[in-house]
Chain A
């Protein structure tokens, strides 16, 4: 579910970064406000969060055999963090894990890190956890309740997450991947993954519940006394801002070529919903015109080379010079590399 940089357009990546930063700031505020109330417990939380993050990271290297099949599953990181640390600390911890994965393992990218954190952290910590997990085990914790709550919340968190992966990929328009195909591919796979991850997570939580219930206790008290309504409001507002942000960035990009071509395609092949798509492109044109008039970032400065100019660049006349030029550029690159190495060696000798 990690999105890579190439899948995402700068507009979508930026929007998702903004959303992630907003949620992070909110979480940091929340964790810090807890600090003031109970100093010792919360001072302890900082090392706990760090070590738990490392735990989740390491645990994902271990395979858990799924009975009856040859395959294996992993622990669901977001859910166990939310269950043990609370949603705010859980979100922060998860985002750090994802950042480390992006930096050291090229799992995801720097531009797409915002969307990855959002897709995996926000839905589990701020939707699945408060509205499903917490609701189910609110009054009395039993093993059965833990099982149901974990599976449901992990599944729903993952479904929402994978659906937003599809939406973000689609809005970015970097691939020709048809929306429907992608959805039909992503959702069932993540349903299966969700059930398994939920089972593993519930196994771990119920073990802790029977062995050391006090680990779950303080968190339980901590998170339950908040007013839900306020949180609901924030959640709704945030979701709204994401949706609108996504749409604005879609319309703001003057080159959503992937979409337009897929629309052309659906028109030609007479897919039943081509009317909608037509309507969409009309709206799109309208908004694009509007946007041109009121643009505060006209075309983001560097989207000027529209489709046609790009195409003509690859066309007959220029392609010869393009190929020759590329070869020249490549040799230039090699030369620069050699020169850099030479310079560096000299520099090193001087230093020593």
Chain B
């Protein structure tokens, strides 16, 4: 129950902040999609023991958060979902990879811990980047970007349909769950005797709903085509954004900026 309400809230929340009207939101969705994917690829392609050199990657996230006026806390909270996975699967790094590396002359740690930390940082960076994409780009706009990438229309329509009806069906399940728990209190889930009837009935209702939707669509002139009225092209701003981030990501990948900065500062 809490689960369902939570999910509705989560989707609605991201949907709402994706409707804002800032510099980032106004950029072309295709550009944002490409930059996000490139960012994730660059992030995960850093070496196992690199921590310092990944620091500049934060600049992208900070800029999008600020320019896009995205609330920091909810997004960070949402990104915590990866924490159990990364902690569980990465725990073998410090256990198995215990060659020491020296930080200062006498202090050393096993390099497994370095790679563990690096893995955790990477997981957060990539998840936050994906969440920022959807909180600055609404689903409709994303669909437009996919269309420009020549993704088949059926898939795009599916994506939009599923997205639209998730609310409806989540609410339906929420009602069913309320009805069930009022009649069968103190249960953590559906009794096994009711697995079939409960799911089956919702399925049949869903099936009928699809028929009604189809009729409604047909009456409004639907002919399996996905029509996109807007036909906007990339403008100068979009190109600059795209090129800037690609160059930026490549530069911070090839040059270890923090170490360079540090050596200038310490004179080493």
Contacts and interface: CB of A to CB of B under 8 A. Distances in A.
A5 B162 contact: no
Given A59-B202, A62-B177, A92-B154, A341 B192 contact: no
Contacts of A337: 62-63, 65-66
A314 B40 contact: no
Contact of B192 (A65, A92, A318, A322): A65
A95 B155 CA distance: 9
A104 interface: yes
B47 A305 contact: yes
A336 B14 contact: no
Interface string A94-105: 011101101111
A237 interface: no
A321 B44 contact: no
Contacts of B28: none
A110 B125 CA distance: 12
Given A176-B112, A206-B196, A111 B190 contact: no
Contacts of B45: 9-10, 300, 302-303
Contacts of B218: 43
A46 interface: yes
A111 B40 contact: yes
Nearest to B157: A46
Contacts, number: 372
Nearest to B50: A310
Contacts of A302: 42, 45, 250, 253-254
Interface string B29-52: 000000011001111110111111
Contacts of A9: 44-45
Contact of B261 (A8, A32, A211, A328): A328
Interface in B1-32: 3-4, 7, 10-11, 14, 22-23
A103 to B, nearest CB: 4
A317 interface: yes
A333 B258 CA distance: 12
Contacts of B266: 320-321, 324
A31 B169 contact: no
Contacts of A298: none
30 contacts: A4-B86, A24-B155, A28-B154, A49-B158, A49-B161, A50-B210, A54-B168, A54-B206, A58-B4, A63-B188, A65-B192, A72-B188, A92-B158, A103-B133, A105-B10, A105-B78, A199-B192, A203-B195, A204-B196, A212-B204, A215-B207, A314-B51, A318-B268, A321-B262, A322-B256, A325-B263, A326-B51, A326-B258, A337-B63, A344-B22
Interface of B: 3-4, 7, 10-11, 14, 22-23, 36-37, 40-45, 47-53, 55-56, 58-59, 62-63, 65-67, 69, 78-79, 81-82, 85-86, 89-90, 92-93, 95-97, 101-105, 111-112, 114-115, 119, 122-123, 126-127, 129-131, 133-134, 142, 152, 154-155, 157-166, 168-170, 172-173, 176-177, 187-192, 195-197, 199-204, 206-207, 209-211, 213-214, 217-218, 222-224, 250, 253-254, 256-263, 265-266, 268
Interface of A: 4-10, 13, 24-25, 28, 31-32, 35, 43-44, 46-55, 57-59, 61-67, 70, 72, 75, 80, 84, 92-93, 95-97, 99-100, 102-107, 109-111, 169, 174-178, 181, 199-200, 203-204, 206-208, 211-212, 215, 255, 257-258, 261-262, 265, 300, 302-303, 305, 307, 310-311, 313-326, 328-330, 332-334, 336-337, 340-341, 343-344, 347-348
